[in-house]
Amino acid sequence: VIIIDELADLMMVASKDVEESICRIAQLGRACGIHLIVATQRPSVDVITGLIKANIPSRIAFAVSNGTDSRVIMDASGAEKLLGKGDMLFHANGASKPTRAQGAFVSDEEVEAIRDFFLQNQVAAPSYDESVLSELTGGGGGLGQGNGKQDDDLLPDAVRLVVESGTASISMIQRRLRVGYARAARLVDIMEQNKFVSEPDGAKPRKVLIDAAEYNRIFGGNLQSGSPGSGKDTD
């Protein structure tokens, strides 16, 4: 179960990437038992987008301040008339109209007790692929060294794109190199590990740390030194 406690915070930082990731998980995750619980206290159209709503058909609305917020969540007014303190509308997938219900208060202690119960009574121990974990946590040496954990066939193309365009956004790499989100994100991670781009700093854009001359030295390319991306901020 994937729980996002405040969607608005993520959408403020990288709305397109977050929207795409949520939609992909909602579309494909249920087949392998991955489920989403997404919550926000700011039900506006730039947070709960049409694509997100289309892929999360079951929704709950608690008391909101106006009918517009209710329509964003439920596609219907009514939540603005709720009384608060757990009073809610539940719209199940396939239902013609929402159902009014009362949500119970659950303390932190009760949540922890339920968690501990499942941990103690699980049928089988979790199964982890150690090779996958080592790929994620393994260090490795410099670029292309070690056992290939730091390498990717598209890395030269991705770095060239960063230097030429001055941007290192995951969505741009997806679009220009025609790869999926996971691979584009991994390429950005590799670039960060090799100091080609700066580390993320909250909502601030990354900086391009490699210039054309350094690119040519590492990858044997023929980039001109006047490429626009060198040292520029990225999104």
Please tell me the predicted confidence (pLDDT) of residue 72.
93
Instruction: Please list the residue range(s) of the chain that carry CATH number 1.10.10.10.
Output: 148-235
Q: What integer pLDDT is reported at residue 153 of this predicted model?
A: 85
| Average of per-residue pLDDT values in the chain | 82
Q: Which residues contact 34 (CB under 8 A, 6 or more apart)?
A: 1, 2, 25
Cβ–Cβ < 8 Å for 143, 178: no
* pLDDT for 136 beyond 60: no
Where helices occur in the chain by DSSP H, the ranges are 7-28, 50-55, 67-74, 108-121, 130-137, 155-165, 170-177, 181-193, 212-219
pLDDT of 42 > 80? The answer is yes
User: Does residue 140 register a pLDDT over 60?
Assistant: no
Beta strands 2-4 and 36-38, pairing class: parallel
Q: What per-residue confidence (pLDDT) applies to 64?
A: 94
Which two three-digit tokens encode residue 34? Answer: 């991955």
**Which residues of the chain are in CATH 3.40.50.300 domains?**
2-104
Banded pLDDT at 144 (limits 50, 70, 90): very low
Give CATH for domain 2-104: 3.40.50.300
Q: How confident is the model at residue 232 (pLDDT cuts 50, 70, 90)?
A: very low
- What is the dotted CATH code of the domain comprising 148-235? 1.10.10.10
pLDDT > 70: percent of the chain: 81
Q: Is the pLDDT of residue 37 over 70?
A: yes
Residue 87: strand pairing partners = 102
Query: What is the distance between the alpha carbons of residues 170 and 71, in angstroms, rounded to a whole number?
Result: 32
Of 20, 2, 21, 18, the closest CA to residue 10 belongs to 18
